[in-house]
Every structure is written in structure tokens, then in C-alpha cells.
Amino acid sequence: MTRPRIIRCVNFKPEVTYFKPQGIPLSSLEEIKLTIDELEAIRLKNYKGLEQTKCAEKMKISQSTFQRILTLANKKIADALINGRAIKIESDFIKMNEEKMRKFKCEECKYEWEEPFGTGKKGIEMSCPKCKSKLVHRIDSGGHGFGKQPWGYRGKK
């Protein structure tokens, strides 16, 4: 009997979940399935440039498991690029770290968005993804601001 898979933590939910070679009809393409935890391994190691130990820590898995996931993901992507296959991203045994999301609001355009913890971005250093304004602050689920720096106050009046 095989050991049950540990649920992996992922701080990234892709907006695009399908990639295919241009000019080839979808019906004539083979698909390669890339799990979201494999995509997260690629994101942390290759895109963010984090050390393998830090990547494994963020996904709440062992280093050796992280290495296996990363190796498999790289192999699948290479296969798709070399052999002209489509890549479909799907979830499998993951847990989104939604409880560890920070919410922000732009004072200029009123746009609200979420950022996961551990991105290395501090709220006071952020700019709005919609209008690029620096007048952003963190809000809680009720929409009340905290740490409205540099123009607001922190704590009691």
C-alpha cells in the first residue's frame, strides 16, 4: 500500500490554466497535465529565485519532495515545448493559503486586491495594480483600514 500524499500549500492561483502551440488545432494536440503544486514549485524556484529549502518550507513539504515535484514539472514543460504539446494546469492535493492572504485597497481608484503573505512586498512599498498609485493600505475582511501609512494613523486616536 502506498503512503497517502501530503496536502501541499500553494500561495498562487493562476488566471491562465491552458497553453498550446500557436497555429495547431486543439483537437490534434496531446495534453500534458501540470498540477498546481508543480506550477508553484516552478514559480518559487525558477521565477522567484528562492533557495530550495525556502521553497519546500513555503509549500510545507520536505526538501526531497520539493525536488521531485520540481524535476517532474521541468520535465513536463520541456516535453511540451520540444514536442509541441499543450499544457493544462489543474489542481491536485493542494491547499490554497487563503487564510494567509492580505487585503489591500487603493485610495485613488478604490480597487481592492489580495496578496499572499511571504511575497516580500510590504504594504507601504506597494502600488495599486490597476492605477499604479502609491496610496494603498491594508484592509481587513470588514473593509476597515489598518496601517494607513504614510497619510493615516496606526492604532488608537
Mean pLDDT across 111-117: 76
Choose which CATH entry (1.10.20, 1.10.10, 2.60.120, 3.30.460) describes domain 8-96: 1.10.10
- For residues 89 and 109, give the distance between their C-alpha atoms in angstroms, rounded to a whole number: 33
pLDDT score of 125 more than 50: yes
pLDDT at residue 30, rounded to an integer: 93
pLDDT at residue 92, rounded to an integer: 59
Side chain identity at residue 10, one-letter code: V
Instruction: Pick the most confident of 4-13, 77-86, 132-141.
Output: 77-86
pLDDT at residue 144, rounded to an integer: 45
Q: Which of 82, 69, 79, 72 is nearest to 9 (CA)?
A: 69
- For residues 12 and 117, give the distance between their C-alpha atoms in angstroms, rounded to a whole number: 11
pLDDT in tens, 19-31: 999 999 888 999 9
Percent pLDDT > 70 in the chain is 71
pLDDT at residue 9, rounded to an integer: 72
Burial of 112 (0-12, 13-18, 19+ CB in 10 A): middle
pLDDT at residue 46, rounded to an integer: 95
pLDDT in tens, 30-49: 999 999 889 999 999 999 99
- How does the average pLDDT of the chain come out, rounded? 79
pLDDT in tens, 64-87: 999 999 999 999 999 999 999 999
pLDDT score of 148 more than 70: no
pLDDT score of 117 more than 60: yes
CATH topology for 98-146 is Rubrerythrin, domain 2 (2.20.28)
Hey, where are the domains in the chain? 8-96, 98-146
Side-chain-facing half-sphere of 49: CA atoms under 13 Å: 1
